């Protein structure tokens, strides 16, 4: 299956909507059911639904499902949940008694100083897809959702989840990637005490053209060196070399 197979599937569903096979207010099947019916991975089904949300063809409602846009949705009985009910990031709605808590359970123990093993890294690498799905549930956030979904792609095409490269990566996602990396390097984490800003800038430049879009790296370094960017609650390096 090609890395953009989800776009072909989204086009197919969009054609079904246009032909009248789906009516406004119809509820789409759960993503797992959709994946089973189409013989695709659940992660691919997730991206299909996100793409349909981005196009404004469907709307997502927390605790209810995904509906074809156009009319008031039919009422669906959902068990009452107390205000502030725990949210399961795998499905993006309040946890029901029989619902899987795979993501919440799997995240336990990942906040550790040791290197992640292969299974743990696989879990972590799903976070951008999960974030994309959560944001895309609000139609107004769909443009931002696609940037979050692509924020861990690499300029050389070795990132995730779709291994896009160069101009295939949205510019906004490339900007997020540089800012996120800079913040991670200069922050105190379980696995790192953080580095000063000069060291972080040096690292960004060393990865320009491989991990990061070189134009974005240069723009970031210039803005930071000019004093237009700062780290909240952290002192800036005083070497004067950040934008050099």
pLDDT of residue 172: 94
What angle, rounded to 10 degrees, do the helices at 42-54 and 31-38 form?
A: 110
* pTM score, whole prediction: 0.55
pLDDT of residue 232: 55
| pLDDT recorded at residue 80 | 42
Below-50 pLDDT ranges, the chain: 1, 62, 71-104, 233-244
CB 207 within 8 A of CB 191: no
Residue 156's closest CA among 94, 78, 212, 202?
A: 212
> What letter does residue 164 receive in the DSSP assignment?
-
> For residue range 3-31, what is the model confidence (pLDDT) as tens digits?
578 888 999 999 999 898 888 888 888 88
Quote the CA–CA distance of 42 and 35 in Å, as a whole number: 5
pLDDT confidence of residue 77: 39
For residue 161, is the peptide bond before it cis, meaning its omega torsion is within 30 degrees of 0? yes
Q: pLDDT at position 159, please?
A: 94
The pLDDT assigned to 116 comes to 72
Bridge partners of 192, per DSSP, are 189
From the list 63, 64, 62, 44, the residue with the least C-alpha distance to 52 is 44
Number of H helices, E strands in the chain: 10, 4
């Amino acid at each position: 299956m090609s890395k953009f197979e989800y776009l072909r599937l989204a086009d197919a569903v969009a054609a079904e909507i246009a032909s009248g096979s789906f009516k406004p207010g119809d509820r789409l099947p759960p993503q797992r059911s959709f994946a089973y019916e189409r013989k695709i991975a659940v992660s691919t089904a997730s991206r299909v639904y996100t793409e349909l949300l981005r196009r404004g063809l469907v709307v997502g409602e927390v605790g209810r499902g995904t509906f074809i846009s156009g009319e008031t949705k039919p009422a669906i009985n959902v068990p009452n949940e107390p205000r502030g009910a725990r949210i399961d990031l795998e499905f993006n709605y309040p946890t029901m008694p029989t619902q899987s808590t795979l993501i919440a359970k799997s995240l336990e123990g990942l906040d550790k100083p040791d290197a992640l093993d292969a299974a743990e890294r696989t879990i972590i690498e799903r976070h951008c897809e999960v974030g994309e799905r959560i944001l895309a549930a609000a139609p107004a956030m769909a443009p931002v959702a696609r940037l979050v979904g692509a924020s861990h792609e690499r300029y050389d095409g070795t990132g995730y989840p779709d291994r896009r490269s160069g101009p295939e990566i949205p510019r906004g996602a490339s900007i997020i990637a540089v800012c996120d990396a800079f913040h991670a390097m200069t922050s105190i984490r379980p696995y790192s005490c953080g580095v000063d800003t000069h060291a972080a800038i040096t690292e960004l430049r060393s990865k320009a053209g491989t991990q990061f879009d070189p134009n974005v790296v240069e723009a970031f370094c210039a803005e930071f060196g000019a004093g237009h960017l700062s780290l909240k609650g952290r002192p800036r390096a005083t070497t004067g070399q950040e934008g050099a």
